Structure 1
Amino acid sequence: MPFRWDLVTPDHLGSLLDDVATPEVAYLTELARCTGKVLARGGNGDLVFVGRSLDSMFDLLGGALEGTGHVLARLPLSFPRRYEYSRQEVLRAREVLADLGITPASLARRSRPVTFVDVVSSGSTYKSLFTLLDDWIAEERETWPVIRLKLRFVGVTVEEDTSPNTWRWQQHADWTRRLPAASVVNVSLDAAIWSYFGDRQQKVTKSFGTRGWIEGARETERDERTRKALAEAVRLVELGRTKQVRRMIARAIDGEPALSEPWLRTLRSTLS
């Protein structure tokens, strides 16, 4: 598994950031808004961030939800744009999922859903992930009618004008029809910030594609760019702990339909 520092309890960073300036986070307001929407539309599930694109949201929530008991996890797998995998790749992916407590047996018996979160364009990553889970569930002969209620997918998409003719990725994906409609939802994000997170942001960890699944993750670098990325991540955790940012996230929940449910009202109150 790719190494990533635990930034909520960063007692092992040493002198890594001693000569790195505290970065400005110009996208903070938009990220907090999007984060609140993801929480509201996540169906009270345990959030699992796929890949690295939304590491900044993971870090902000790590600070904002500290001490609340909410479960956050990262699934570092990076999926190629293909949907057939070797048996070795499949078994390794299952090991990574099992390390997070995500198996057919656990999905059938858990009380809260697993909510995957990722930036989405065409939806290819989610198709790959769903296919891996679906094949595993069938192989283990676990109860699909129960498990389908425990899986949710939140896609963070590029913000654009909406109309009846707007292209929506989930409407063109066959696999999404096997889940309840409310289990596959979107949250929009400013196009420039979406591109920054998905395409241009320097990440703390290396990409973990199928070659890495088999051979092992590449060592995390400690060069200047990586240390600046680490400083940005640490700053986001710090900001998430502040009352100001927690309230920004809480305000983004206002008006969401799920606010009629006790779990979201409790969460909003906690953040406020």
Structure 2
Amino acid sequence: MKGADTLPFRWDLVAPDQLGTLLSGTESPRLWFVDDLAECAGKVLARSGNGDLVFVGRSLDSMFDLLGGALAGVADDRRLHRLPVSFARSGVRSGRRWRERPLTHGERRRGREFLANVGVTPHALARRARPVTFVDVVHEGGTFTDLFTLLRDWIDEERQPWRVIRRKVRFVGVTIRRETSPNTYRWRHDAGWTRQLPARSVVNVSLDWWVWNYLGDRQTKLTRTFKPERWLAGAAAPDRDLDTRQAIAEAVAIVHYGRSAAGRKAIARAADREPALAEAWLRTVVTALNST
């Protein structure tokens, strides 16, 4: 598909025939964070509105791997996708402040191709039955703001019915767990675009700070960051050094845990405590996870 050949390559860990000898010499990973990850994944699934999940960037690759393992072979037809792009770009002066430069015309065009590669186009959104749910770690919501702007401008340009599409697009932000108070910062309140969607379409799931920080900032990823300045040229080949191979071993272990009865039940247990369990689709998923 157009644009797919420029995205960063990542090994398929659910059907890992491509790995060959990459795991040779690696140590058995210590999945110290997997209980928190499984709980968060169950909540993300429950709050997705029965959507196909699109994981933005690289931060939640481990959740993509966990759910990919858990849902493999389960009677559930939802799709999981990665949109492994970053919107981070250089700053430009605006009066006395700095802001990120706007995307160029070519970058916007390539960004649309990346979205199309995961089945997200204005035409498709207006006609699909199941929503698309974008998932990412969130601090201030900048990535979701850029993604929504890219998509909304495209919808307007193609004159597709926004009143229909606004019910087909959802965002789940994985945030740092904090004590709540009237003064707690809430990124959704500062992001004006969220008011263009139904309130239930932009939700949060909180995660322990240590795990959030590990996944978002410290975990070795299997692909390099893919910023707009690289979108037109294409991504560099993945590293194959020991750190990357050890990260592959960790990712494979997460997939295996997701496939296990313990992993599936942990995800189901978290989803089982969510209000959306009143809906038939989630009860079906929870039952399937508990039955395997």
Q: Which category describes the TM-score, using the shorter chain as reference length? A: over 0.9
- Give structure 1 stretches of 5+ with no counterpart: none
Q: Secondary structure at the match of 1:21?
A: coil
> Could you tell me which residue of structure 2 aligns to residue 70 of structure 1?
78
Match of 2:266 among 245, 248, 254: 248
Over residues 52-87 of structure 1, what are the superposed CA-to-partner deviations in whole Å (9 max), with x where a residue is unaligned? Answer: 000000001110000233210000110116372110
Match runs of 1:199-214 below 5 Å: 199-214=217-232
Match runs of 1:12-51 below 5 Å: 12-51=18-57
Q: Secondary structure at the match of 1:195?
A: helix
How many residue pairs get matched?
272
Q: Would you say the 8 A contact 1:83–1:131 is kept in 2?
A: no
C-alpha separation in 2, matches of 1:47 and 1:258: 16
Letter of the 1:19 counterpart: G
Letter of the 2:9 counterpart: F
1:165, CA displacement in angstroms?
A: 2.5
C-alpha separation in 1, matches of 2:242 and 2:267: 31
> Could you tell me which residue of structure 1 aligns to residue 151 of structure 2?
133
Letter of the 1:162 counterpart: T
1:199, CA displacement in angstroms?
A: 0.7
1:254, CA displacement in angstroms?
A: 2.3
1:238, CA displacement in angstroms?
A: 0.5
- Give structure 2 stretches of 5+ with no counterpart: 1-6, 90-99
Q: Would you say the 8 A contact 1:66–1:241 is kept in 2?
A: yes
Over residues 176-210 of structure 1, what are the superposed CA-to-partner deviations in whole Å (9 max), with x where a residue is unaligned? Answer: 00000000000000001101111111000011111
> Could you tell me which residue of structure 2 aligns to residue 100 of structure 1?
118
C-alpha separation in 1, matches of 2:69 and 2:9: 20
1:22, CA displacement in angstroms?
A: 1.8
Match of 1:195 among 189, 213, 227: 213
> Normalising by structure 1, what TM-score?
0.98
Q: Would you say the 8 A contact 1:113–1:152 is kept in 2?
A: yes
Deviates more, 1:74-83 or 1:58-67: 74-83
> Normalising by structure 2, what TM-score?
0.92
Q: Secondary structure at the match of 2:184?
A: coil
1:257, CA displacement in angstroms?
A: 1.1
Letter of the 1:49 counterpart: F
> Could you tell me which residue of structure 2 aligns to residue 271 of structure 1?
289
C-alpha separation in 2, matches of 1:67 and 1:238: 13
C-alpha separation in 1, matches of 2:21 and 2:243: 16
Match of 1:183 among 187, 201, 204: 201
Match runs of 1:217-236 below 5 Å: 217-236=235-254
C-alpha separation in 1, matches of 2:176 and 2:80: 23
CA-atom RMSD, angstroms?
A: 0.9
> Could you tell me which residue of structure 2 aligns to residue 60 of structure 1?
66
Q: Would you say the 8 A contact 2:51–2:78 is kept in 1?
A: no
Q: Would you say the 8 A contact 1:49–1:75 is kept in 2?
A: yes
Residue 143 of structure 1 pairs with residue 161 of structure 2: yes
1:259, CA displacement in angstroms?
A: 0.5
> Could you tell me which residue of structure 2 aligns to residue 216 of structure 1?
234
Q: Would you say the 8 A contact 1:77–1:209 is kept in 2?
A: yes
Letter of the 1:77 counterpart: V
1:12, CA displacement in angstroms?
A: 1.4
Identity %: 60
Q: Secondary structure at the match of 2:232?
A: helix
C-alpha separation in 1, matches of 2:260 and 2:215: 22
Match of 1:155 among 156, 159, 173: 173
> Could you tell me which residue of structure 1 aligns to residue 14 of structure 2?
8
Q: Would you say the 8 A contact 1:83–1:128 is kept in 2?
A: no
Deviates more, 1:93-102 or 1:138-147: 93-102
C-alpha separation in 1, matches of 2:125 and 2:71: 23
